[in-house]
Amino acid sequence: MINKEMLAEREKLALELAAKLPEISAAQSVGEGTCPLQWCLKLVEDARAISDGKSVMSRDGLWQLQLMIEGATRGQSGEEDLAVYKETLDAMELIGDAFTVKVAELLKANLEAYASEWDLHVRRNRCTSLVCYYDLYIDPAVCQGNGACLKAAPSGAVLGGAGMISVIKNDRELKNEAFIASCPLGAIKKCGAIKPPCPPAPVPVGSFGNAAGGAGGGRRRRRG
């Protein structure tokens, strides 16, 4: 039974929603310092927020894309997931409504423009923008041994003492903005694959050599 009025209404809504989405060029150039996967994640979340969720693509489709992108930013997606992601986008582009087709086009454009970054995330669990994946270290040149980081961290995660350069022993529970902000001097820093030199254990402030190192930059060890 075809109800043309109802279908026309749905089509109109899809077009209205599609108009609220960014242009393709935005997906291809997400801006300096922004992780392209995080851009995609936000796009899908925003899309779900405005979607009426009445068709499989606008409901489960968008949700699944969100879960897949989240997986890629958390080390929970492998290459096979990326393949399913692509298949899903292809299907959505073919049989979605105006709204979900536009979402699929944006995500495909992003995937194409940032192929190496997607590959880096999925295969190596690395994020050039240091948003999805990073390590933490305490810059020995900045640390004044004031103990603020010790208070902010769970016991045993950071070693140090009064007048000693703090050393991160285990950063697993520390990767959050609150801990990073706990140092008034900004000594807690993110880094990529290569960690700048740090003392292996706390040493008195000023006793560790000229510390320097770019965040995420420098030489990369090739793996895999």
Q: Given candidates 3, 25, 155, 210, which one binds another protein under the rule CB under 8 A? A: 3
Total interface residues for another protein by CB under 8 A: 33
**What are the angstrom distances between the C-alpha of 19 and each of 12, 24, 98?**
11, 12, 9
For another protein, the closer CB: 55 or 146: 55
Contact between 16 and another protein by CB under 8 A: the answer reads no
CA atoms of 164 and 51, how far apart (whole Å): 54
Q: Given candidates 61, 145, 202, 216, which one binds another protein under the rule CB under 8 A? A: 61
**What are the angstrom distances between the C-alpha of 22 and each of 17, 44, 89, 210?**
11, 11, 17, 46
Contact between 88 and another protein by CB under 8 A: the answer reads yes
Contact between 112 and another protein by CB under 8 A: the answer reads no
Residue range at the interface with another protein (CB under 8 A); choices 44-52, 135-143, 182-190, 213-221: 44-52
Residue range at the interface with another protein (CB under 8 A); choices 20-28, 48-56, 161-169, 186-194: 48-56
Written as six digits, the tokens of 60 are 């489960």
For another protein, the closer CB: 28 or 66: 66
| Surface-to-core class of residue 7, CB atoms within 10 Å of its CB (0-12 exposed, 13-18 middle, 19+ buried) | exposed
81-107 burial string, b = 16+ CB within 10 Å, else e? bbeebeebbeebbeebbbbbbbbbbbb
Bridge partner residues of 190 (DSSP): 136
Residue range at the interface with another protein (CB under 8 A); choices 33-41, 60-68, 114-122, 204-212: 60-68
Q: Given candidates 23, 52, 112, 119, which one binds another protein under the rule CB under 8 A? A: 52
Contact between 57 and another protein by CB under 8 A: the answer reads yes
User: How many other C-beta atoms lie within 10 A of the C-beta of residue 112?
Assistant: 11
Contact between 130 and another protein by CB under 8 A: the answer reads no
Written as six digits, the tokens of 27 are 């997906």
For another protein, the closer CB: 37 or 68: 68
